[in-house]
C-alpha cells in the first residue's frame, strides 16, 4: 500500500498501460516458443493459409489495441482531477461519433474480404487426393484407406506433397479432428459426414488431438500424423495390406490363444478369425509407435499395464479389465509384438 | 416533453391507471410473455420440420395423420376462440351470466379438443408411432403435447374464472381478468392454426 | 420502440370501440370457411402444385384475423403489437436460418466449411 | 407496511405477513431492495463456489500430469464452474443491480410485480441449490456448460461413457428452473421500466443503466424459451428415451448446438450489458461530465442486442455447416464489433475533458474498458473462420471469454459494488483497501488469463484434465495458476473490506457521497422502504445533477441555491412514509418456488411425485391469487 501511495497518480496509471502492453508484446513474441502443437508455425499449405490470415488479423488487432489503449491511458492521465480544473460540459460530437463508427466498419469490411475468400478456397475438394475415412470413437481414432483396404488406428500415415482428403464419421459422441501444424479442426459428428483436407510439406511426425469434449479421456484422445516421402508411404501401405504374420510359437502362441478367446470380440487381426470392430484393428499393431489414442509409447511395459487394467490407466477407456494373470498378460503382449 | 399525467397524484395506489404508457401492467406482461412464447413454439416447430421425414423405419406423417379427424378438432379449437371473445364481450356489457355461459362453452370446446388429442395419441401409439420410435415421433408428440399442455392450463384458468364468477368475485370491473385469459387462449389457438397447417396439411415427401 | 410512441399515452388510454359480438361471429364464420377451404384443397389433386403456398396464405390470414380482432391487436396499443410481432419475426428469421443450414448443407463441407 | 403496523391484522389463512425485520421478513419480503440484496449475496456465495472450483482446476493444471483431481472430478468441476459463473453469478448479479436500482433510478416505489419478483428470486435460489446438490446425489453435471449432445444424452446408461449417472439430469432440470426465474424477471423489468417511470422520465431521459436493463430483459424474454426447448428435448432424451439427438435413430446432434447457441450468444450480451450499464453510470459521475453521446450509447446497446441474434453459429465454425453459412456468420460476427466500438469510444469521450476522480469504483470501470477491448479484439479474431478452426476449443477461446466475462462483466460488477455500496448500506467501502483489491485483482486477472492466449496459440485444448510434458505449455500454466490464487487473495481482500467497513470506519455516506447524477442519490442512504417520499417529477436526463447544478454562462457549472435540490434528511422525516401504499409481504412466492423444487427432484428421482410438487405449486399460486391486497 505504501508503495502504491508513493507512486504518483500518473505513475500508477502508466503501470496500467505497461502491464497491458506487455501482454501484447509477449503474445506476439510467442511464435518463437514452438511446441509440437503450435499452430503459428504451420507445415502445410492449409494451415499456412489460416496462418496468413492470422498475421493480418493479429496485426490489425494489435494496432487497434495500441491506439485505443493509448488513447485511454492518455485520457485518464491528462484529465485527472487537478485543483482548479473544471470538467467541460459537453454532450457529444456527432461528426466525431460518425467517423469513429465508420473507421471500424471499414476495417472490418477490409478484413471480411480475405476471410470469405479463404473460406471459399478451402472448401474446394482438392485434385488427386488420397482418401482416408476417419472414425472417431471414445477415445481413439480409426483410419481407413478405402482404396487400399487398409485399416489402422491412432497413427495416420500420409504421403508428403499430396493432399489427403478426409471423410470424418462419428460413432458415439462428437469429437474433433485436429493437427495444428497441418490444418484446423473439423468436428466429427455422429450421423453426419464432414470432410477436410490437408497437405504435409515435409516428412515428419505431426501431433494432434481431439478437441471436442467427449468424456473422461478427452484429454487422452491424441493422435499422430506421420508424413512420409511418397515412396516410403507406398511401402508402408503395401505392408499394411499384408495379413498379420503367420504362425507364432512359444509364449506368443499362448497369447494368441487367449486373444482368440477373449479379445476377438472387439479387435480384428487381418488373416485370422478376429474380426471385432469395437476396438482398434490390431493387424499391424506392433508397427505403431503409440497406442490407445497415442497416449502411450508402444513398449511391452506400457502394453502390460494397459491390458492389466485399461480404465485404470486411461479413465473411461471402453476396454474392460479382463483380470488376466501377469503370466497371461506377458503371453498376450508377446503375441501382440508379433503383429508387425 | 409535457409533464406527465401521473404527476397529478403523488400516491399511485392503483398503479394500473397511472402507468407511464397508460397501458395496463398485467396486459403488457401478458403480451411480453406471448412474444416469448413465439420463440418457444418456434423452436419446437422447427425441430419438427427438421425431423418430419426421419421416421427411423416407423410410421411416417403421410400415413399416420387422420386429416378429417384433426380438421374437426382444429375447427373446435377455432370456435372456442369465438366463444372466448363472446365471453369477454358479455362481461364488458356487465352480463355475468352470459360470460359464464361462454366461458364454460370455451372450456368445454377446449376439453373436446384435448379429448381428441388423447384419442389421436392413443391411436398413433397403437399404430406404432411412439415417443421413442423416431425423431419424427418424438418431435410430433412433444410439440403437440406442449400445445396440449398449454390448452389444459387455459382450461384451468377458464374454469377458475367461472368459479370466481359464481363466487361473486368477477364483476364488470374485472373484465380485464377475462381479457387476459382470453389473450392467452387466443394465442394457443393461433399456435394451433400454425401447427394444423404446417404439421398436418403441408405434405412431406 | 420509438419514444414518441410510448409517450403519447393518454390517447392510447382512450378505448377504441371494440367490435360487436355480431362482428365476432362474422369473423368466426370467415375463419371457419377458410379452414374448410384449407382441408378441401388438401384433397383436390389438381391444386397439388399450389397446395403449400395456398395453405400458408390461408394460415396466415387466419392467424392475423385472430390476432387483430379476437386479441384486439387492431384496437390496442401499438406497443403490444410490437412485442408480439418482434417475437414472431425473430422466431421466423432465426429458425429459417437454422433450417437452411440443415437443408442447404453441401455434400462435402470443406476443411473449415 | 406502516399502515399495517398501526392496525391489528385480522388473521385469516390468507392474511399477509407483516414482519419487516428478522429472517422471516426476508423470506416473505417483496421489497425490490431486499430482494436485490438477496440476489447479490446469493450470487456472491456462488461466485466463491465457482471460484473454488476454478482454483481446483488451476491446481490440477499447474504442472503437466497433475494429480490433484481425477478426470471425473475435473470434468464436474469445469462444467460446474462454467454453469455457476454464467447462470448463478453473473446473470443474477445483473438482476441484483436491476432489482435494487431500476426502481430507484426511474423514480418508482417498487417493481411492477413485487411478488413475481420474489418468486424469481426463490426459484433462482432453489435452482442453484438444486444443481449443487447433485454433488451429493451421484455426481455433478460433467458435460461442459453447453452440454453438447449426444455426450450429454448418453449418460445413465453406461458407466464407462464418462458421465456421472445423474449429472446431466441435474443440468437439464436445473437450468430449466433458472430459466423460469430469468423469464419472470425479464417480464417484470420490461413492464417496470416501460410503465413505472416517474412523471417526466421519458425513455430518452432514462439512465443508460436502465436502458441496458431493458435491452437485457428483451434478450432474456426471447432467448430463454429457446434454451427451455433445448433443455426439454435433452431431458426427454435422457429420461423418456425420445430421439431428438440420437444419431443412431436419425436425430441430429447439431440441432442441440443451434438451439443452445441461439440462446447462448444473446446470453453473452445478457452477461455484459448490465456491466456496460454500470460503467456508463460510474464514468460520468467520476468525470463530472454527462455521458458522451447518450443517444449513441443507448442505440449501440440496442444494436448489440439486435445483432446478437444473428451470430450464434460462430460457435459452430468447426461443426461443418458449409462455407456459405460460415461466411455469413463470420461477417455478422465481425460487424458486431462496430456498436461495441461506439460504446468504447463514447466512454473515452465521457472522460475526455473531465475532471477524473480515481475512486476504486472508477478504477474498476476503467479496468473494464481496458480489459474488455482485449477480450473484444480476440473475439473478432475468432470470426476469421479459417483461423478459428485453429483457435476453437483451445485456451485461446478460454482467454477470450474470461477477458470479456471477468475483465468485462465482473470488473463492471465490482465497480458497481464500490459505487452503490454507500447507497445500499449507508456507508462506504474503504477506498484504501479498495485500491489493494483493484490492483491485486487486476494483476492477478492478467496473470491468469493473459498467458491463456499464448498457451492456446501453442495448441493447448480446453477441457483437458491433464497434459503431457514437453508441449511448451508448462511455464504459462504455472503463471496462470499463480495468477488465479492472486485473484483469490484479492477476493478475500474484498470480503475483508466489506467486513471492516461495516464494523469500524463506517464512513457515513450520506445521501450523495459521490456527487452523482441520477435519482437514486436524491434519497437517503439506505433508502427508506417506500423509496421516494414524494414521487419525483423529472425534467432532465441526469435529473438529480440538474437539481444540484446548472451550466452557467461561460459553460461553468454553478450550484443551484434554491428550489431543486432536496434536503434529504428532512425529506424523509417529512411524512415518514406513513400513508404510502406499498405491497405487503407474502409467503406464497416461496411456497410456489418450493413446489417447483419438489417437482424438480421428482422428475429425476421419482416421476410420480411430480404431482406433489405441482400440488404445492398450485396451492402457492392459489394463495397468491386469493390473498388480500394488503396486510390489513
Ligand atoms: C460477456 C461475454 C462475451 C462477450 C461480450 C463476447 C463478445 C464477442 N465474442 Fe465471444 N464468447 C463468449 C463470451 C462473450 N463474447 C463466451 C463465453 C464464449 C465461449 C463459449 C464457450 O465455448 O464455452 C465466446 C466465444 C466466442 C466465439 C467462438 C469461439 C470458438 O469457440 O471458436 C466467437 C467467434 O466468433 C466470439 C466472438 C465474439 C465477438 C466478435 C464479440 C464482440 O462482441 C466483441 C466486440 C468488441 C470489440 C471488438 C472491442 C471494442 C471495439 C473497438 C475498440 C472498436 C474497433 C474494433 C475493431 C475495428 C475490430 N466469441
Ligand atoms: C463469469 C464467468 C467466469 C468467471 C468469473 C471465471 C473465473 C475463473 N475461471 Fe473460468 N470459465 C468460465 C467462466 C468464468 N470463469 C466458463 C463459462 C468456462 C467454460 C466451462 C466449460 O468449458 O464448460 C470457464 C472455464 C475455465 C477454465 C477452463 C477449464 C477447461 O477448459 O478445462 C479455466 C482454467 O483455468 C478457468 C479458470 C478460471 C479462474 C482461475 C477464474 C478465477 O477468476 C476465479 C476467481 C475467483 C476466486 C478465486 C474465488 C475466490 C474464492 C476464495 C477466496 C475462497 C474463499 C472461500 C470461502 C470463504 C468459502 N475457467
Ligand atoms: Cu474425442 Cu474429445
Ligand atoms: Cu458468441
A194 vs C: CB within 8 A:
yes
C-alpha angle with apex D134: A175 to D75, nearest 5 degrees?
30
Contacting partners of chain A (3+ CB pairs under 8 A): C, D
Ligand 4 centroid distance, CA of B139 (Å): 27
pLDDT tens-digit series, residues D431-486: 999 999 999 999 999 999 999 999 999 999 999 999 999 999 999 999 999 999 99
Ligand 3 neighbourhood includes A155 CB (under 6 angstroms): no
Residue at grid coordinates 466500438: D341
Test mutation, A51, A176, A186, A188, chain C, max C CBs within 10 A: A186
Comparing alpha-carbon positions, the chain D residue that sits nearest to B142 is: D233
What integer is the mean pLDDT of D276-294? 95
Can you tell me which atom of ligand 1 is nearest the CA of D393?
A: 31
C111 vs A: CB within 8 A:
yes
What integer is the mean pLDDT of B89-94? 92
- CA B157 from centroid of its chain's CA atoms: 11
Mean pLDDT estimate for chain B: 89
The ligand placed nearest to the CA atom of residue D316 is: 1
A123 vs D: CB within 8 A:
yes
B29–D188 CB contact, under 8 Å: yes
- Residue with more model confidence, D254 or D248: D254
B31 vs D: CB within 8 A:
no
C1 vs D: CB within 8 A:
yes
Q: Is residue A1 predicted with pLDDT exceeding 70? A: no
Ligand 1 shell residues, CB under 6 Å:
A 64, 68, 104, 107-108; D 146, 268, 271-272, 314-315, 317, 333, 336-337, 340-341, 344, 373, 376-377, 379-380, 382-383, 388, 391-392, 397, 400-401, 404-405, 408-409
Comparing alpha-carbon positions, the chain A residue that sits nearest to C108 is: A195
For D285, half-sphere exposure in the C-beta direction (CA atoms, 13 angstrom radius) is 32
**Residues of B (40-79) whose Cβ lies below 8 Å from D:** 40, 43-44, 47, 50-51, 54-56
What integer is the mean pLDDT of A113-117? 94
- Residue to substitute in D147, D382, D388 for testing ligand 1 pocket (most ligand atoms within 8 angstroms of CB): D382
- Residue with more model confidence, A249 or D425: D425
How close, in Å, is residue C59 to chain D by CA atoms?
Answer: 23
Can you tell me which atom of ligand 2 is nearest the CA of D452?
A: 35
What length is written for chain A? 340
Residues D463 and D144 sit within 8 Å (Cβ to Cβ):
yes
Which residue owns the Cα nearest ligand 3 atom 1?
A: A175
Pull the grid cell for residue B70.
384433426
Q: Is residue C8 predicted with pLDDT exceeding 60? A: no
The ligand placed nearest to the CA atom of residue D460 is: 2
What integer is the mean pLDDT of B59-75? 92
pLDDT at D552: 78
Q: Is residue C3 predicted with pLDDT exceeding 90? A: no
Closest Cβ–Cβ partner in C1, C6, C101 for D321: C101
Contacts of D387 in chain A (CB under 8 A): 50-51, 53-54, 57, 184
- Residue to substitute in D42, D45, D80, D85 for testing ligand 2 pocket (most ligand atoms within 8 angstroms of CB): D85
What integer is the mean pLDDT of B139-158? 96
Ligand 4 centroid distance, CA of D398 (Å): 13
Can you tell me which atom of ligand 3 is nearest the CA of D463?
A: 2
pLDDT at B62: 87
Q: How far is CA A93 from CA A77, D206, D345, in A?
A: 22, 20, 11
How many CB atoms are closer than 10 A to CB A114?
A: 17
How close, in Å, is residue C109 to chain B by CA atoms?
Answer: 19
Domain ranges of chain C: 19-75, 76-107
C112 vs A: CB within 8 A:
yes
What integer is the mean pLDDT of A153-157? 96
pLDDT at B10: 36
Contacts of C113 in chain A (CB under 8 A): 119, 122-123
Spelled out in words, what is the top-level CATH class assigned to the domain B25-201? mainly alpha
Residue at grid coordinates 453459429: D313
Lowest mean pLDDT among C35-39, D255-259, D592-596: C35-39
Sign of the Cα pseudo-torsion (D345, D350, D354, D356, in order): negative
- Number of B:D CB contacts under 8 A? 136
How close, in Å, is residue C83 to chain D by CA atoms?
Answer: 9
pLDDT tens-digit series, residues B171-200: 888 899 999 999 999 999 999 999 999 999
Residues B58 and B84 sit within 8 Å (Cβ to Cβ):
no
- Residue with more model confidence, D541 or D556: D541
Buried (b) or exposed (e) across D301-340, using 16+ Cβ within 10 A? bbbbbbbbbbbbbbbbbbbbbbbbbbbbbbbbbbbbbbbb
Ligand 4 centroid distance, CA of D391 (Å): 14
Q: Is residue A20 predicted with pLDDT exceeding 60? A: no
What integer is the mean pLDDT of D236-265? 94
pLDDT at D13: 59
What integer is the mean pLDDT of B143-165? 95
**A18 falls in which pLDDT band (50, 70, 90)?**
low
Q: Is residue A27 predicted with pLDDT exceeding 70? A: no
Residues D529 and D20 sit within 8 Å (Cβ to Cβ):
yes
Residues D463 and D82 sit within 8 Å (Cβ to Cβ):
no
pLDDT tens-digit series, residues D490-515: 999 999 999 998 876 566 778 899 99
Can you tell me which atom of ligand 1 is nearest the CA of D409?
A: 1
Q: How far apart are alpha carbons B113 and B107 in whole angstroms?
A: 10
Contacts of D313 in chain C (CB under 8 A): 101
pLDDT at A233: 97
Q: How far is CA B122 from CA B136, D268, D466, D616, in A?
A: 16, 43, 52, 30
Element (H, E) at A156: strand A155-159
Q: Which of D465, D461, D56, D471 is nearest to A314 (CA)?
A: D465
Domains in chain A, please, with CATH? 35-88+124-234 (2.60.40.420), 251-336 (2.60.40.420)
pLDDT at D17: 72
D258–C101 CB contact, under 8 Å: yes
pLDDT at A26: 60
Ligand 4 centroid distance, CA of D308 (Å): 8
- E strand spans, D411-491: none
DSSP type of residue B90: H
- Residue with more model confidence, D160 or A320: A320
Q: How far apart are alpha carbons B7 and D69 in whole angstroms?
A: 62
Q: Is residue B44 predicted with pLDDT exceeding 80? A: yes
pLDDT tens-digit series, residues D304-353: 999 999 999 999 999 999 999 999 999 999 999 999 999 999 999 999 99
**DSSP collapsed to 3 states, D532-581:** CCCCCCCCCCCHHHHHHEEECHHHCEEECCCCCCCCHHHHHHHHCCCCCC
Sign of the Cα pseudo-torsion (A67, A72, A77, A82, in order): positive
pLDDT at B91: 93
Mean pLDDT estimate for chain A: 88
pLDDT at B135: 95
pLDDT at A151: 94
Whole-complex ipTM: 0.92
Q: How far apart are alpha carbons D509 and D423 in whole angstroms?
A: 8
Ligand 1 centroid distance, CA of D379 (Å): 3
- CA D12 from centroid of its chain's CA atoms: 39
**D361 falls in which pLDDT band (50, 70, 90)?**
very high
Contacts of D581 in chain B (CB under 8 A): 11, 13
Element (H, E) at A233: helix A230-241
pLDDT at D22: 73
Contacts of B133 in chain D (CB under 8 A): 243
Closest Cβ–Cβ partner in D113, D195, D201 for B23: D195
pLDDT at B3: 36
Ligand 2 shell residues, CB under 6 Å:
D 48, 51-52, 54-55, 57-58, 78-79, 81-82, 85-86, 89-90, 144-145, 398, 402, 405-406, 409-410, 448, 462-463, 480, 484, 487-488, 491-492
Lowest mean pLDDT among A228-237, C45-54, D517-526: C45-54
Residue at grid coordinates 452557467: D552
Contacts of C107 in chain D (CB under 8 A): none
pLDDT at D1: 37
Which residue owns the Cα nearest ligand 1 atom 12?
A: D401
Domains in chain D, please, with CATH? 30-583 (1.20.210.10)
pLDDT tens-digit series, residues D115-158: 999 999 999 999 999 999 999 988 899 999 999 989 998 765 54
Mean pLDDT estimate for chain D: 90
**C6 falls in which pLDDT band (50, 70, 90)?**
very low
Amino acid at each position: 500500500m505504501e508503495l502504491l501511495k508513493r507512486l504518483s497518480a500518473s505513475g500508477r496509471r502508466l503501470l496500467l498501460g505497461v502491464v497491458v502492453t506487455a501482454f501484447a508484446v509477449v503474445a506476439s513474441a510467442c511464435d518463437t516458443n514452438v511446441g509440437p502443437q503450435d499452430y503459428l508455425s504451420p507445415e502445410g499449405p492449409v494451415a499456412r493459409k489460416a496462418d496468413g490470415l492470422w498475421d493480418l488479423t493479429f496485426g490489425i488487432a494489435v494496432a487497434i489495441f495500441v491506439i485505443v489503449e493509448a488513447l485511454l491511458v492518455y485520457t485518464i492521465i491528462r484529465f485527472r482531477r487537478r485543483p482548479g480544473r473544471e470538467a467541460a460540459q459537453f454532450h457529444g460530437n456527432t461528426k466525431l461519433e460518425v467517423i469513429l463508427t465508420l473507421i471500424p466498419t471499414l476495417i472490418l469490411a477490409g478484413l471480411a474480404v480475405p476471410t470469405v475468400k479463404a473460406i471459399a478456397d478451402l472448401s474446394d475438394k482438392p485434385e488427386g487426393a488420397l482418401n482416408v475415412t476417419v472414425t472417431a470413437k471414445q477415445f481413439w481414432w480409426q483410419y481407413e484407406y478405402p482404396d487400399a483396404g487398409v485399416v489402422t488406428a491412432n497413427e495416420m500415415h500420409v504421403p508428403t506433397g499430396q493432399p489427403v482428403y478426409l471423410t470424418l464419421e462419428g460413432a458415439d459422441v462428437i469429437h474433433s479432428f485436429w493437427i495444428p501444424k497441418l490444418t484446423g479442426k473439423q468436428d466429427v459428428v455422429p450421423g453426419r459426414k464432414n470432410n477436410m483436407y490437408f497437405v504435409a510439406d515435409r516428412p515428419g511426425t505431426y501431433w494432434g488431438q481431439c478437441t471436442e469434449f467427449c468424456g473422461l479421456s478427452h484429454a487422452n484422445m491424441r493422435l499422430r500424423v506421420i508424413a512420409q516421402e511418397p515412396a516410403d508411404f507406398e511401402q508402408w501401405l503395401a505392408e499394411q495390406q499384408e495379413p498379420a504374420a503367420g504362425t507364432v510359437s512359444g509364449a506368443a502362441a499362448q497369447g494368441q490363444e487367449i486373444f482368440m478367446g477373449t479379445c476377438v470380440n472387439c479387435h480384428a487381426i487381418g488373416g485370422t478369425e478376429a474380426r471385432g470392430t469395437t476396438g482398434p484393428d490390431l493387424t499391424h499393431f506392433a508397427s505403431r509407435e503409440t497406442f490407445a489414442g497415442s497416449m502411450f509409447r508402444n513398449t511391452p511395459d506400457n502394453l502390460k499395464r494397459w491390458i492389466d487394467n485399461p480404465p485404470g490407466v486411461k479413465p473411461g477407456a471402453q476396454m474392460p479389465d479382463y483380470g488376466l494373470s501377469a503370466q497371461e498378460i506377458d503371453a498376450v503382449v508377446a503375441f501382440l509384438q508379433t503383429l508387425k | 416533453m409535457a409533464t406527465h399525467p401521473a404527476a397529478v397524484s403523488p400516491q399511485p395506489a392503483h398503479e394500473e391507471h397511472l402507468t407511464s404508457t397508460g397501458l395496463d401492467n398485467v396486459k403488457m406482461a401478458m403480451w411480453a410473455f406471448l412474444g416469448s412464447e413465439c420463440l418457444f413454439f418456434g423452436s419446437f416447430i422447427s425441430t419438427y420440420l427438421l425431423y418430419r421425414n426421419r421416421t427411423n423405419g416407423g410410421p411416417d406423417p403421410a400415413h399416420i395423420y387422420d386429416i378429417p379427424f384433426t380438421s374437426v378438432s382444429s375447427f373446435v379449437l377455432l370456435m372456442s376462440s369465438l366463444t372466448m371473445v363472446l365471453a369477454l364481450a358479455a362481461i364488458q356489457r356487465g352480463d355475468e351470466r352470459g360470460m359464464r355461459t361462454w366461458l364454460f362453452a370455451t372450456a368445454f370446446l377446449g376439453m373436446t379438443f384435448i379429448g381428441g388429442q388423447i384419442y389421436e395419441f392413443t391411436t398413433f401409439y397403437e399404430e406404432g408411432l411412439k415417443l421413442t420410435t423416431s425423431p419424427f415421433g418424438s418431435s410430433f408428440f412433444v410439440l403437440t403435447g406442449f400445445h396440449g399442455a398449454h390448452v389444459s392450463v387455459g382450461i384451468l384458468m377458464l374454469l377458475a374464472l367461472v368459479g370466481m364468477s359464481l363466487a361473486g368475485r368477477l364483476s364488470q370491473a374485472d373484465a380485464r381478468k377475462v381479457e387476459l385469459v382470453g389473450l392467452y387462449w387466443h394465442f394457443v389457438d393461433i399456435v394451433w392454426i400454425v401447427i394444423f397447417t404446417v404439421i398436418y396439411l403441408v405434405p412431406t415427401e | 420502440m420509438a419514444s414518441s410512441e410510448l409517450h403519447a399515452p393518454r390517447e392510447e388510454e382512450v378505448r377504441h370501440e371494440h367490435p360487436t359480438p355480431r362482428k365476432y361471429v362474422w369473423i368466426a364464420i370467415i375463419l371457419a370457411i377458410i379452414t374448410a377451404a384449407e382441408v378441401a384443397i388438401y384433397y383436390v389433386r389438381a391444386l397439388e402444385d399450389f397446395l403449400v403456398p395456398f395453405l400458408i396464405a390461408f394460415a396466415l390470414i387466419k392467424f392475423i384475423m385472430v390476432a387483430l380482432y379476437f386479441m384486439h391487436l387492431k384496437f390496442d396499443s401499438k406497443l403490444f403489437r410490437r412485442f408480439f410481432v418482434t417475437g414472431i419475426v425473430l422466431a421466423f428469421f432465426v429458425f429459417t436460418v437454422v433450417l437452411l443450414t440443415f437443408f442447404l448443407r453441401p455434400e462435402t463441407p470443406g476443411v473449415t466449411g | 407496511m406502516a399502515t399495517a403496523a398501526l392496525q391489528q391484522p385480522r388473521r385469516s389463512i390468507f392474511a399477509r405477513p407483516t414482519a419487516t425485520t428478522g429472517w422471516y421478513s426476508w423470506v416473505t419480503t417483496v421489497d425490490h431492495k431486499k430482494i436485490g440484496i438477496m440476489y447479490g449475496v446469493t450470487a456472491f456465495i456462488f461466485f466463491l463456489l465457482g471460484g473454488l472450483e476454478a482454483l481446483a482446476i488451476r491446481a490440477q493444471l499447474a504442472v503437466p500430469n497433475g494429480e490433484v483431481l481425477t478426470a471425473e472430478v475435473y470434468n464436474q468441476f469445469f462444467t460446474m464452474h462454467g454453469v455457476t459463473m454464467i447462470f448463478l453469478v453473473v446473470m443474477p448479479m445483473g438482476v441484483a443491480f436491476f432489482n435494487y436500482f431500476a426502481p430507484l433510478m426511474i423514480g418508482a416505489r417498487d417493481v411492477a410485480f413485487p411478488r413475481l419478483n420474489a418468486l424469481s428470486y426463490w426459484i433462482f435460489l432453489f435452482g442453484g441449490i438444486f444443481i449443487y446438490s447433485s454433488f451429493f446425489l451421484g455426481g455433478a453435471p460433467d458435460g461442459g456448460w453447453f452440454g453438447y449432445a449426444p455426450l450429454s444424452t448418453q449418460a445413465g446408461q453406461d458407466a464407462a461413457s464418462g458421465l456421472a449417472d445423474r449429472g446431466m439430469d441435474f443440468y437439464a432440470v436445473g437450468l430449466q428452473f433458472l430459466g423460469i426465474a430469468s423469464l419472470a424477471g425479464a417480464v417484470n423489468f420490461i413492464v417496470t421500466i416501460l410503465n413505472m417511470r416517474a412523471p417526466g422520465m421519458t425513455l430518452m431521459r432514462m439512465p443508460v443503466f436502465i436502458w441496458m436493463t431493458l435491452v437485457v430483459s428483451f434478450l432474456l424474454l426471447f432467448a430463454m424459451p429457446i434454451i427451455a426447448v433445448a433443455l426439454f428435448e435433452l431431458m426427454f432424451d435422457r429420461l423418456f428415451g425420445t430421439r431428438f439427438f440420437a444419431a443412431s435413430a436419425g436425430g441430429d446432434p447439431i440441432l442441440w448446438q443451434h438451439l443452445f447457441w441461439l440462446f447462448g450468444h444473446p446470453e453473452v450480451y445478457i452477461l455484459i450489458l448490465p456491466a456496460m450499464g454500470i460503467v456508463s453510470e460510474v464514468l460520468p459521475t467520476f468525470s463530472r461530465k454527462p455521458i458522451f453521446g447518450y443517444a449513441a450509447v443507448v442505440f449501440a446497446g440496442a444494436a448489440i442486442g439486435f445483432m446478437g441474434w444473428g451470430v450464434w453459429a460462430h460457435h459452430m465454425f468447426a461443426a461443418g455447416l458449409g462455407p456459405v453459412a460460415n461466411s455469413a456468420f463470420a461477417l455478422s460476427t465481425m460487424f458486431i464489433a462496430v456498436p461495441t466500438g461506439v460504446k468504447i469510444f463514447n466512454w473515452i469521450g465521457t472522460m475526455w475533458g473531465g475532471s477524473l476522480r480515481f475512486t476504486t469504483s472508477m478504477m474498476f470501470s476503467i479496468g473494464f474498458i481496458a480489459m474488455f477491448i482485449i477480450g473484444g479484439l480476440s473475439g473478432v479474431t475468432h470470426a476469421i473462420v479459417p483461423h478459428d478452426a485453429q483457435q476453437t476449443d483451445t485456451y485461446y477461446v478460454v482467454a477470450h471469454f474470461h477477458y470479456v466475462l471477468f475483465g468485462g462483466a465482473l470488473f463492471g460488477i465490482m465497480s458497481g459494488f464500490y459505487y452503490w455500496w454507500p447507497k445500499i448500506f449507508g456507508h462506504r467501502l474503504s477506498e484504501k483497501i479498495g485500491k489493494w483489491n483493484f490492483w491485486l485483482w487486476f494483476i492477478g486477472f492478467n496473470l491468469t488469463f493473459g498467458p491463456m492466449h499464448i498457451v492456446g496459440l501453442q495448441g493447448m485444448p480446453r477441457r483437458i484434465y491433464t497434459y503431457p510434458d514437453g508441449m511448451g505449455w508448462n511455464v504459462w500454466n504455472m503463471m496462470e495458476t499463480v495468477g488465479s490464487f492472486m485473484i483469490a487473495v484479492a477476493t478475500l481482500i474484498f470480503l475483508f473490506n466489506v467486513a471492516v467497513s461495516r464494523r469500524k470506519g463506517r464512513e457515513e455516506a450520506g445521501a450523495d457521497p459521490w456527487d452523482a447524477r441520477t435519482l437514486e442519490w436524491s434519497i437517503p442512504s439506505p433508502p427508506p422502504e417506500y423509496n421516494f417520499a414524494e414521487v419525483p417529477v423529472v425534467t432532465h436526463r441526469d435529473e438529480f445533477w440538474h437539481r444540484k447544478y446548472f451550466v452557467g454562462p461561460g459553460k461553468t457549472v454553478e450550484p443551484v441555491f434554491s428550489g431543486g435540490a432536496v434536503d434529504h434528511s428532512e425529506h424523509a422525516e417529512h411524512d415518514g412514509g406513513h400513508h404510502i401504499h406499498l405491497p405487503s409481504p407474502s409467503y406464497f412466492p416461496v411456497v410456489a418456488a418450493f413446489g417447483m423444487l419438489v417437482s424438480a427432484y421428482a422428475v429425476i428421482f421419482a416421476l410420480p411425485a411430480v404431482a406433489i410438487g405441482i400440488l404445492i405449486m398450485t396451492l402457492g399460486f392459489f394463495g397468491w391469487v386469493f390473498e388480500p391486497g394488503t396486510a390489513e
